C-alpha cells in the first residue's frame, strides 16, 4: 500500500491490512505515521561509524492536525512497534525481511526453532504458564 497499489489478490475483502474479526470490530481505520530519522556516517581509519542524531515521528491528532514528537520525548523504536501493531520479531523476520535473509524458513533445526520462538513469543508464553 505504500505505492497506492493493492497487493495481488487483495481486490476483495481488504483483510491484508487488518482483519476486523481479529480486532473484534466491524471496521478498521488507517492511521498516518511519518518517521524522519537523521543518521550520520563517519569514516574512521578502519571502518565507518553510524549514529542517529535525531528522529521525528509525525502523527495526526483527533482533528487530523499533525503532531510532531521528537526522539528526545519518546523511545523511537518502541513507538514504531506500537504504530505497526506487531512485535519486533514480525517486523524483522516477516514484514521487513531483507532479501538475503528471506530463506530463513529453510534454515537448520535450531536456527529455525529460534526464529519461530521469537515470532510466536513461545519463550514468553512458557514463562507466563510457569507463573500461574
98 lies in a domain? yes
pLDDT value at residue 121:
84
82 three-state secondary structure: helix
- Identify whether residues 96 and 120 lie together within a single domain: yes
Percentage of the chain beyond pLDDT 90 is: 5
- Identify whether residues 112 and 95 lie together within a single domain: yes
- Identify whether residues 94 and 54 lie together within a single domain: no
- Identify whether residues 77 and 125 lie together within a single domain: no
pLDDT value at residue 43:
93
Query: Who wins on pLDDT, 75 or 55?
Result: 55
Residue 83 and residue 33 in contact, taking contact as beta carbons nearer than 8 Å: yes
127 lies in a domain? yes
Residue 95 and residue 83 in contact, taking contact as beta carbons nearer than 8 Å: no
Q: How far does the chain reach from its first CA to its final CA, in angstroms?
A: 42
- Identify whether residues 118 and 74 lie together within a single domain: no
- Identify whether residues 58 and 81 lie together within a single domain: yes
Q: How many domains does the chain have?
A: 2
Q: Which of 20-24, 95-99, 114-118 has the lowest mean pLDDT?
A: 20-24
| pLDDT higher than 90, residue 86 | no
Give the range of the structural domain holding residue 57, as residue numbers without chain letter. Answer: 28-85
DSSP at 39? E
- Identify whether residues 122 and 91 lie together within a single domain: yes
- Identify whether residues 76 and 65 lie together within a single domain: yes
pTM across the whole model: 0.54
Placement of cell 578502519 in the chain: 46
Phi-psi region of 14 (alpha: psi -120 to 50; beta: other; left: phi over 0): left
- Mean pLDDT estimate for the chain: 79
55 lies in a domain? yes
Amino acid at each position: 500500500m505504500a505505492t497506492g497499489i493493492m497487493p495481488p489478490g487483495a481486490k476483495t475483502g481488504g483483510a491484508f491490512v487488518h482483519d476486523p474479526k481479529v480486532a473484534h470490530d466491524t471496521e478498521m481505520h488507517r492511521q498516518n505515521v511519518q518517521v524522519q530519522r537523521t543518521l550520520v556516517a563517519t569514516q574512521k581509519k578502519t571502518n565507518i561509524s553510524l549514529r542517529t542524531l535525531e528522529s521525528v515521528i509525525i502523527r495526526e491528532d483527533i482533528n487530523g492536525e499533525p503532531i510532531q514528537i521528537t526522539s528526545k520525548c519518546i523511545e523511537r523504536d518502541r513507538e514504531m512497534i506500537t504504530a505497526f501493531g506487531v512485535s519486533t520479531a514480525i517486523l524483522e523476520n516477516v514484514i521487513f525481511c531483507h532479501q538475503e535473509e528471506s530463506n530463513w524458513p529453510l534454515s537448520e533445526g535450531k536456527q529455525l526453532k529460534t526464529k519461530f520462538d521469537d515470532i510466536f513469543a513461545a519463550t514468553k508464553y512458557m514463562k507466563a504458564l510457569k507463573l500461574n
